[in-house]
Amino acid sequence: MELGVFIAGVLLSGLRSATPLLYVLLGETLTERTGVVNLGVEGQMLLGAFAGFAATVVTGNPWTGLAVGALAGMLLSVVHGALCLGLKANYFASGVAVWMLGGGLSAYFGISMVGQRIDGFAPIPFGALAKIPVIGPAIDQITPTVFLALALCALTGFFLYRTRLGLYWRAVGESAEAASTMGIRPLWIKWQGVLAGGLLSGLGGAALSVDYTRNWIEWMTAGRGLIAVGLVIVARWNPLLALPAALLFGTTEALTLRMQTLGVNVSPYLLGTLPYLVCLAVLIYGYRRARSRGGMPRDLAAVFAKTE
Amino acid sequence: MFSNRLLNLTWKSLALGAMLSAAAVSPALAAKPKVGYIYVGPKTDFGYNYAMDQGRLVVEKKLGVKTVFFENIPENAEVERVMERLINQGFTLIFATSYGYLDPALNVAKKYPKVTFMHGGGFKLAPNLGTFFADIDEVEYLAGIAAGAASKTGKLGYIAAHPIPQTLRNINAWTLGAQSVNPKITTTVVWTGSWSDPTKEAEAANTLIDGGADVLSMHVDGPITVAQTAEKRGVMVTGYHADASKFAPKGWLVGAAWNWGELMTKIVSSVEKGTWKSEHLRGKLSDNYVKLTGFGPKVPASAKTAIAAKEKAFKGGADLWVGPITAQDGSVVLKAGETLPMAKIESMNFLVKGVVATIK
């Protein structure tokens, strides 16, 4: 029973804290499936977090906040697209530029938003479900953004593997050259991938500020966008694996915090590295098993191998 | 963006300069210091910077001096440039409020011996540079009384950035205060590893609440995320740095806050009168440099009485760090009647019995 409570608690708090990350992870997965890498998601998350929070302050409606945050993230994608698709700049350089731009813009315009109060989403009335022992109280804390992220996970999976456009995206990611002989316009598809990624990254940032923390402070994502970029590899570029990958990180982080509350006699500094170690271990294990690109789109492999 | 603000300031100060020269016949007015404030973060953070800016507003109101502030100034050469700009515009007293401003302030102070510098919390002096700070642990103790009295579960939760003497001091004081009304109180601590990481602060708060804690407190840059999360989950919270009750109207108990206005007014008027001297100004509850914020609705009347009595005792010179105090592992820190010397307090490296946390 005690163990049951513990595990349920860890899983649910993992899901709770992994939710903003899951959006970004899905977004970057989509972008990379079209053969483009975007390190700028950190900046897009930040701009989304700021814009979403500001919109919620102004309108009082957290849904508007999510929408505005998503749009802000997409807007920054236009910069990344223009640099690396339009001007053929190096993906990594362009991504870092977007990262810094998003961070700087959000910090500057966000000064007036520091210390503002928002109410976020009202709790979902779960009724009888919330009364189930052990998991009930945890279920009670699930907010709309958690459901939205789970739905998007299924939706992007369906899109990539079950729709014609999804097939085009994957084709472009595998080989833009081959795709163009099939009559697909790779550049246009890559643009779509970049824009979709920005939309989801902005949404993830907004979920963080509007729903999870109900707070805005400059650079509040603290590197989580970059973690999402790393987790794409752990999830092997598969949106359906994005959920377990995000959960892996989220639950390990939740677990390390929970271990502190149990008085486990391990240095808090050491515990703090655990989420990264676990993800690294999974990555190594996954690579050893696959003994291949680990699901990496073929054109992406070219990006990593030679960065023009 | 930054230069825009400076430009704006230049115009204002030009206009002011014209006014001042017109009024130069009155020596009293000419002697009024112009005071510049520099903050490392936004002044609306409901944390450290907010508290400093509240002090600035008091100075303006009480002394009628001209003040100006700069926020979000990083702790590097940038802050030296800001100081020089202020000096060029005739500012004669500069409050460098962030710890990392100490060395830049010393550099600039050397170049401009006629300008007075006050640094927040440092331990170096120059002929024209002094430091100011206050001890807040007595107020943490008082807030702890409210937490201990209001808690139903007897489990308190504390979210702190790093296990360093300053945080250990606050955690211990808060816990001792709570235990003074309910000896069975335990405080569970979660270290977030960062002064500002709202995601971890929210997760830590959730974790503590899941574990049964019904009163939270924090020692991180801003109290907002923890207060918001506590309110969302229907538990209580005591604050740090400033009054953040608006983020938890139901669950806010009380907060330990800085009261820089008092100290800053003293400093500015000493500069005005020419009695300022270079020293480490330190104060505590009895000096009114720190204070309790207003009470929230859930503080029991008995706790308010206990807090008032203890506050009076502290102001009358009673010692907080007085034995018997037992450490986490049961070892004796202080025997009955013993007190902790200042050096030991400032380098605190233990947690008191009843605190659940690992510090190494």
Across chain B, what does the average pLDDT equal? 90
Beta carbons within 8 Å of B339's beta carbon, 6+ residues apart: B319, B321, B322, B323
In a domain, A245, yes or no: no
Quick one: pLDDT band at residue B4, thresholds 50, 70, 90?
A: very low
Query: Quick check: B196 pLDDT over 90?
Result: no
CB contact under 8 A, A215 and B358: no
pLDDT bin (cut points 50, 70, 90) of residue B22 is: very low
Q: Is residue A224 part of a domain?
A: yes
- Residue A99 falls inside a structural domain: yes
Does A90 reside within a domain?
yes
* Stretch 59-118 of chain B: residues touching chain A, C-beta under 8 Å: 71-72
A287 Cβ neighbours under 8 A, 6+ residues apart: A294
The average pLDDT across B330-355 equals: 92
Domains of chain B: 2-134 (3.40.50.2300), 137-256+290-314 (3.40.50.2300)
CA dihedral A132, A133, A134, A139 (to 10 degrees): 30
pLDDT score at A165: 95
Report which secondary-structure segment, H or E, holds B292.
strand B290-292
Question: How confident is the model over B139-178, as pLDDT tens digits?
Answer: 999 999 999 999 999 999 999 999 999 999 999 999 999 9
Question: For residues A132-170, b (16+ Cβ closer than 10 Å) or e, as one string?
Answer: eeebebbbbbbbbbbebbeebbeebbebbeeeeebebbb
Kindly list the distances between the CA atom of residue A213 and the CA atoms of A206, B200, B205, B227, in Å, as whole numbers in the listed order.
10, 9, 10, 10
Q: Kindly state whether residue A271 falls inside one of the protein's structural domains.
A: no
Q: Check pLDDT > 80 for residue B35.
A: yes
List the single best residue of B5, B49, B72, B207 to mutate versus A (max A Cβ within 10 A).
B207
To the nearest whole angstrom, how far is the Cα of A46 from the nearest Cα of chain B? 13
A218 exposure class (CB count in 10 Å sphere: 0-12, 13-18, 19+): buried
Which residues of A fall within a CB distance of 8 Å from B74?
Answer: none
Residue in B41, B198, B210 closest to A215 by CB = B198
* Cβ of residue B208 closer than 8 Å to a chain A Cβ: yes
For residue A104, the distance in angstroms to the closest alpha carbon of chain B comes to 11
**Residues β-bridged to residue B35:** B67, B93
Tell whether the model's pLDDT for residue B16 goes beyond 50.
Answer: no
Chain A CB contacts of B167 under 8 Å are none
Q: Do B206 and A16 touch (CB under 8 A)?
A: yes
Question: For residue A166, what are the domain limits?
Answer: 18-122+141-229+297-305
Q: Which residues make Cβ contacts (< 8 Å) with residue A62, sequence separation at least 6?
A: A56, A118, A119, A120, A121, A210, A211
Nearest chain B CA: its distance from A206 CA (Å): 12
Distance from CA of B314 to the nearest CA of A (A): 32
Contact A266 B358 (CB under 8 A): yes
Among the partner-chain residues B190, B202, B224, the one whose CB lies closest to the CB of A115 is B224
Q: Does position B24 have pLDDT exceeding 50, yes or no?
A: no
* pLDDT tens string B85-139: 999 999 999 999 998 999 999 999 999 999 999 999 888 999 999 999 999 999 9
**Shortest CA gap B1–chain A (Å):** 8
Which residue has better confidence, A35 or A293? A35
| The pLDDT of residue B26 is above 60 | no
Q: In this model, does residue B264 exceed pLDDT 70? A: yes
Task: Tell whether B238 lies on the interface with A, counting CB pairs under 8 A.
Answer: no
Q: What was the pLDDT predicted at B359?
A: 85
**Is A156 inside a domain boundary?**
yes
Mean pLDDT of B22-48: 74
What per-residue confidence (pLDDT) applies to A156?
A: 96
- Residue A269 included in any domain: no
The domain total for chain A is: 1
Q: For A70-117, what is each residue's pLDDT tens digit? A: 999 999 999 999 999 999 999 999 999 999 999 999 998 998 899 899
- The pLDDT value recorded for residue B123 is 85
| Confidence band, pLDDT 50/70/90 cuts, at residue A164 | very high
- Predicted confidence at residue A133, as pLDDT, reads 66
Which residue in chain B is spatially nearest to A111 when comparing CA positions? B42
Whether residue A173 lies inside any domain: the answer is yes
Residue B285 DSSP label:
G
Query: For residue range B201-253, what is the model confidence (pLDDT) as tens digits?
Result: 999 999 999 889 999 999 998 999 999 999 999 999 999 998 999 999 999 99
Q: Do B163 and A120 touch (CB under 8 A)?
A: no
Calculate what percentage of chain A has a pLDDT beyond 70: 94
pLDDT in tens, A6-44: 777 788 888 888 999 999 999 999 999 999 999 999 999
Rounded to an integer, the average pLDDT of A251-270 is 85
pLDDT given at position A135:
67
ipTM score assigned to the predicted complex? 0.86
Reported as a single tens digit per residue, the pLDDT across B126-144 is 999 999 999 999 999 999 9
Partner-chain contact A112 B44, CB within 8 Å = yes
